[in-house]
Amino acid sequence: MECGGSVVNSSHRDDTPVLITEAQPSYDDQQAVRRRKYAIMMASRIPCLIAAALVYQTWHLWWLSLIILAISIPLPWMAVLIANDRPARKREQVNRFRRSARSLESRSHQVIEGA
């Protein structure tokens, strides 16, 4: 098949859907991302504990071992918070009527807006 001077092969057509809206990712996709973050954070705690032990055993730097341990202590708490946190909803713009200079009624009226 020829299209505008170039040959287009219909067997290599991309059938993936095109995103035409600004819809958020599905709940399952969001949950998969949160699970992955949780697993990475929890898995990084074990190497931190091993690194703290190795630093103390190898170089006897107790202060550096304590710093590494202090970093590893809040990791489970942060991992749970991140895993349970859903992304914020997008704020939608409200389309409000704006009076123009060419409006039919030119005189002003008292407007009472509800809270």
- Would the pTM count as exceeding 0.75? no
Overall residue count recorded for the chain in this entry:
115
Whether residue 9 is predicted with pLDDT greater than 60 in this model: the reply is no
Burial class (CB in 10 A: 0-12, 13-18, 19+), 35: exposed
Q: Report H helices in 60-112.
A: 62-72, 75-84
The DSSP letter of residue 96 is: -
Q: What is the pLDDT of residues 41-99, one digit of tens each?
A: 999 999 999 999 999 999 999 999 999 999 999 999 999 999 998 877 777 665 565 66
Which structure tokens are listed for 106?
């030119």
**Mean pLDDT confidence for 18-22:** 62
pLDDT, residue 104, reads 59
